[in-house]
């Protein structure tokens, strides 16, 4: 008993250190371009992007930030791009969930890097899937010109934003834009393709070409205010709908506009009176081990996530390396698909490795996913998976076919899918457990997450063996020292690329969260998803 307690305390200490690192990194990201740039923003009479968001959302409400780590440790040759130069997230405005997109003018004057475009598109995707009103707080210098070839012309680049504006409008999802700083060139279309646009006097400006470009193009000399300031665009051109004296008045007006919106049909997901788990909140981080190779009791972990620590397990005695269960999280009915990291024994005496998907586990999960779609129950995937089982026995047993059934069910599922990457998420296991490629409504990671085709040690062994085999085929004898150096180099690179920060920087996950916030994130995700009616489910062809 004492040994178990010591192990749990070690897990807790390691988790707290990881969360402390997460918060330190976030604090730095929250500064955007730094304190000097923030002071410069204030000197102009402008609030920062985060100050605008904080003022806009209801007091004491939860802001579910998306992509805070976007661009993390990227674009170093250009001085970096903290947060991708834009603040994105779901927040309550007058009691209504809205998707908020706020350009951060302290980061390269709010210019768009490639990751900025990807983050904006993700915001629009979430808004479309969940029928959330969109609020754009515009303060941007436009495309970051040194990287224009990576942000301007392609399907998933800058222009897609305005295409989405039109699609969102056609679907009846409200869009409100506030021009609170620069809004130039192609970026000028975003606020004007919104349903309503506001502009702040003295700081807001919108035009297709600024004074310098106008001078170069047609020889005309004109100042910024005359060309496209608040008075010009509100009283002469009629491009904008509201002219406001300052940031706060502008944001107050947005609140009033949101307050008058009607409501959409709901999906109708079951929600009961929420109740807390019966165990201490820290029980979650005590149960989850620091080492990614150690087994643990996943059912004990579930007790720290679900209401009253109670769940109804589906096919408990079959396909034991995946746990499927019905439960409630913050009152919402959910279907949980979780990898079981314990080594399990089947009735035939076979030992199955924890965290590996076997044919029986895939079959069970497929049936469970179909049931949740049939009963309109949102799905929660908890990742800690090494992949599908390999080897002669598995191949003869049809592991590819059974895996394909599960991937098919995940792909065609129409109820909301929320993915939480707790630990490993490797190879096809990532796909079957609803990784980013399978359209989860939201996907978040714990600081302990690892996402890759395989683990660093596995990849290094495979690639080193290939290299050694190649040398032998050439008649050369491999040097053990160089072989070790190659192994270490490959492992180091893979270990760096499997961290949650590497994934979050590229928006493979929407956020990295404190594990103890998991219930809140899942609840807010389902609340958002409940705004959009569920489409008819059609699974397509599944081989039996």
According to DSSP, the β-strands at 356-357 and 242-244 are: unpaired
Say if CB 542 and CB 366 are below 8 A apart: yes
Average pLDDT over residues 495-523: 96
Q: What is the mean pLDDT of residues 375-395?
A: 89
**Average pLDDT value over all residues in the chain:** 91
Q: Dump the DSSP string for 101-147.
A: EEE-TTTGGG-B-HHHHHHHHHHHHHHHHHT--EEEEEEE--B-GGG
Coil, helix or strand for 112?
strand
For β-strands 311-314 and 322-329, DSSP reports them as antiparallel
- Could you tell me which residues are beta bridge partners of residue 345? 351
- Work out whether strand 379-385 and strand 344-345 pair parallel, antiparallel, or are unpaired: unpaired
Q: If you average pLDDT over residues 29-35, what whole number do you get?
A: 96
What pLDDT score does 461 carry? 78
Name the pTM for this structure.
Answer: 0.92
Tell me which of 34 and 5 has the higher pLDDT. 34
Residue 21 pLDDT > 80: yes
Whole-angstrom distance, CA of residue 86 vs CA of residue 124? 13
User: Does residue 318 have a pLDDT over 70?
Assistant: yes
Residues across the chain = 544
Would you state the structure tokens that stand for residue 269, as one six-digit string? 């997901």
Please, are residues 83 and 90 in contact by the beta-carbon 8 Å criterion?
no
**What spatial distance separates the first Cα and last Cα of the chain, rounded to whole Å?**
46
- What's the confidence (pLDDT) of residue 245? 97
Asked if the model's pLDDT at residue 117 lies above 60, the reply is yes
Show the tokens assigned to 149: 């070839």
When pLDDT is averaged across residues 110-127 and rounded to a whole number, the result is: 95
Find the range with the poorest average confidence among 3-12, 118-127, 498-507, 510-519: 3-12
Q: Report the run of H or E that residue 247 belongs to, with start and end.
A: helix 247-259
What is the tens place of the pLDDT at every residue in 253-310? 999 999 999 988 899 999 999 999 999 989 999 999 988 788 899 999 999 999 999 9
Tens of pLDDT, residue by residue over 183-215, are 887 678 888 899 999 999 999 999 888 888 888
Q: How remote is the C-alpha of 303 from its chain's centroid?
A: 25
Helix, strand, coil distribution of the chain in percent, nearest 5: 45, 20, 35
Give per-residue pLDDT as tens, 402-460: 889 999 999 999 999 999 999 999 989 999 999 999 999 999 999 999 998 877 777 77
């Amino acid at each position: 008993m004492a040994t178990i307690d010591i192990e749990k305390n070690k897990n807790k200490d390691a988790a707290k250190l990881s969360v402390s690192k997460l918060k330190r990194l976030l604090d730095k990201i929250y500064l955007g371009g730094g304190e000097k740039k923030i002071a410069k923003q204030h000197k102009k009479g402008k609030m920062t992007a985060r100050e605008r968001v904080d003022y806009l959302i209801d007091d004491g409400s939860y802001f579910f930030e998306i992509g805070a780590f976007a661009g993390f440790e990227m674009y170093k040759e250009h001085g970096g791009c903290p947060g991708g130069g834009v603040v994105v997230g779901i927040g309550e405005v007058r009691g209504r969930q809205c998707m908020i997109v706020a350009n951060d003018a302290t980061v390269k004057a709010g210019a768009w890097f490639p990751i900025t475009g990807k983050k904006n598109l993700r915001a629009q995707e979430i808004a479309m899937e969940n029928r959330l009103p969109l609020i754009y707080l515009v303060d941007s210098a436009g495309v970051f010109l040194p990287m224009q070839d990576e942000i301007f012309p392609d399907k998933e680049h800058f222009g897609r934003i305005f295409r989405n504006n039109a699609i969102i409008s056609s679907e009846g999802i409200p869009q409100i834009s506030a021009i609170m700083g620069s809004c130039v060139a192609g970026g000028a279309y975003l606020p004007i393709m919104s349903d309503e646009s506001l502009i702040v006097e003295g700081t807001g400006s919108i035009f297709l070409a600024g004074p310098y470009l106008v001078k170069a193009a047609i020889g005309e000399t004109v100042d910024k205010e005359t060309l496209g300031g608040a008075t010009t665009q509100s009283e002469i051109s009629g491009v904008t709908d509201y002219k406001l004296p300052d940031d706060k008045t502008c944001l107050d007006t947005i609140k009033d506009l949101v307050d008058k919106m009607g409501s959409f049909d709901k999906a109708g997901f079951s929600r009961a009176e929420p109740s807390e788990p019966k165990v201490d909140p820290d029980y979650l981080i005590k149960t989850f081990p620091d080492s990614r190779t150690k087994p643990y009791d996943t059912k004990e972990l579930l007790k720290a996530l679900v209401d009253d620590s109670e769940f109804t397990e589906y096919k408990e005695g079959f396909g034991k390396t995946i746990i499927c269960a019905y439960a409630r999280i913050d009152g919402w009915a959910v279907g949980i698909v979780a990898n079981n990291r314990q080594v399990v024994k089947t009735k035939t005496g076979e030992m199955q490795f924890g965290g590996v998907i076997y044919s029986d586990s895939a079959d069970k999960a497929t049936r469970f996913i179909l049931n949740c779609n049939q009963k309109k129950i949102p799905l929660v995937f908890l990742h800690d998976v090494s992949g599908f089982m390999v080897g002669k026995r598995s191949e003869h047993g049809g592991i590819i076919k059974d895996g394909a059934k599960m991937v098919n069910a995940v792909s065609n599922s129409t109820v909301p899918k929320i993915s939480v990457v707790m630990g490993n998420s490797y190879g096809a296991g990532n796909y079957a457990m609803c990784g980013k490629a399978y359209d989860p409504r939201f996907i978040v990671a714990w600081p302990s997450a690892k996402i890759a085709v395989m683990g660093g040690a596995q990849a290094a062994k495979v690639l080193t063996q290939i290299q050694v085999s190649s040398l032998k085929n050439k008649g050369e004898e491999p040097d053990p020292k160089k072989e070790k150096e190659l192994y270490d180099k490959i492992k180091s690179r893979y270990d760096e690329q499997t961290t949650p920060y590497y994934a979050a920087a590229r928006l493979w996950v929407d956020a990295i969260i404190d594990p103890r916030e998991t219930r809140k994130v899942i609840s807010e995700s389902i609340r958002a998803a409940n705004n959009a009616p569920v489409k008819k489910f059609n699974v397509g062809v599944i081989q039996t």
